[in-house]
Amino acid sequence: MTFRAQLGWFGLALALFAGEIALAQPWDPADLEVDGRRSGYLYLTDQTQALQDDDFLNPGMFAVDEGRAVWNTPAGEAGLACADCHGDAEDTMVGVAARYPRYDAERGGIINLELMINRERVERMDAEPLDYESADLLALTTYIAHQSRGLPLDVDVSGPAAPFFELGEDFFYERRGQLDISCAQCHEALDGRLLRGDVISQGQINGFPFFRLIWASMGSTHRMFQWCNEAVRAEPYPYGSDEYLNLELYLAWRGRGLPIETPAVRR
């Protein structure tokens, strides 16, 4: 082999290696800001960004793997696994998380991925619903949302969803708690500034479920809402409550066009 040919092979190998790295980040960092809407990723330290970027280091990828196992494991009296009806999630679930939460006629309100999974378990699999924030429900939600990684958030807030969207918006702007502070006062007006050592982000939810370093675990949007409410000493709402579902819809719209990052890593 001539030296020139060796150089060619080396170049090809390098290109493949670079392609492999790019797989872990299916977006350009420039895509993480859309018309002023900024992913929480952009407020992270370089070290935390690096942790999210590398699928071999990202601790949320364990939840993806666990979720794949849950997807393929039969549960309940019907003896069915998710995969028995839905096949390979890597084909059938692409784009689903980008449309959630959504209006649901059966509930007469908003449904999110977690509640939709549990409805399927109860109605199709004849299984017990998974506890909100249980490892299995977080893993399955993470696995499904991960299939949309890189796709833009695109929820429907029109028609029957509109009144619920407006309730979510009201929640975002309403002062609450002993500290009497609204979501908007920090996440709309002060992003990029510091509360003690913490950088305030816009509170975008395009990376959920996410791995939160200070929890050392995965967490859902509703767990984060509870944490935020308690930070201003406000009484939190329950997981899966209408108040949080409406807020989740509003926030998904507020981050419209941002690529899904699940599993994001955040402080």
Partner 1 sequence: MAAIAAAGATFDPPDYEIVDFAIPEPLTDNPPDPFRGWQIVRDAGNASCLICHPMPIPEEPNHGNIAPDLTGVGERYTEGELRLRLVDPKALNPNTIMPSYFQLEGLNRVEEEYVGQTIYSAQDVEDVVAYLMTLRSPD
Active-site residue, selected from the candidate residues 82, 183, 186, 228: 228
Which residues, 155 to 174, sit near partner 1 by CB under 8 A? 174
Centre a 10 Å sphere on the Cβ of residue 42 and count the other Cβ atoms it contains: 16
Nearest distance, CB of residue 164 and partner 1, angstroms: 19
Beta bridge pairs of residue 33: 38
Binding mask 187-216 toward partner 1 (x if CB under 8 A, else -) reads --xx--xxxxx--x----------------
Nearest to 53 by CA among 138, 45, 152, 162: 45
Residue 177 as a binder of partner 1 (CB under 8 A): the answer is yes
Nearer to partner 1, 53 or 191 (CB): 191
Residue 47 as a binder of partner 1 (CB under 8 A): the answer is no
Residue 44 as a binder of partner 1 (CB under 8 A): the answer is no
- Binding window for partner 1 (CB under 8 A); candidates: 17-25, 131-139, 152-160, 231-239: 231-239
| H or E element that contains 69 | helix 60-72
Beta bridge pairs of residue 176: 181
Nearest distance, CB of residue 227 and partner 1, angstroms: 12
Nearer to partner 1, 57 or 189 (CB): 189
Nearest distance, CB of residue 128 and partner 1, angstroms: 30
Q: Which of 179, 215, 238, 257 binds partner 1 (CB under 8 A)?
A: 179
Nearest distance, CB of residue 83 and partner 1, angstroms: 42
Centre a 10 Å sphere on the Cβ of residue 48 and count the other Cβ atoms it contains: 17
Beta bridge pairs of residue 217: 212
SS3 assignment, position 196 = coil
- Binding window for partner 1 (CB under 8 A); candidates: 32-40, 69-77, 103-111, 177-185: 177-185
Which structure tokens are listed for 254? 């507020």
- Binding window for partner 1 (CB under 8 A); candidates: 7-15, 94-102, 103-111, 233-241: 233-241
What is the spatial distance between Cα 164 and Cα 176, in angstroms, rounded to a whole number? Answer: 19
Q: Are the C-beta atoms of residues 172 and 253 closer than 8 Å to each other? A: no
Q: Are the C-beta atoms of residues 37 and 254 closer than 8 Å to each other? A: yes
Centre a 10 Å sphere on the Cβ of residue 232 and count the other Cβ atoms it contains: 17
Residue 186 as a binder of partner 1 (CB under 8 A): the answer is yes
SS3 assignment, position 260 = coil
Asked if 85 is an active-site residue, the reply is no
Cα atoms in the Cβ-side hemisphere of radius 13 Å centred on 207: 29
Residue 175 as a binder of partner 1 (CB under 8 A): the answer is yes
Residues that bind partner 1 (CB under 8 A): 174-181, 185-186, 189-190, 193-197, 200, 229-230, 233-236
- Active site members: 228
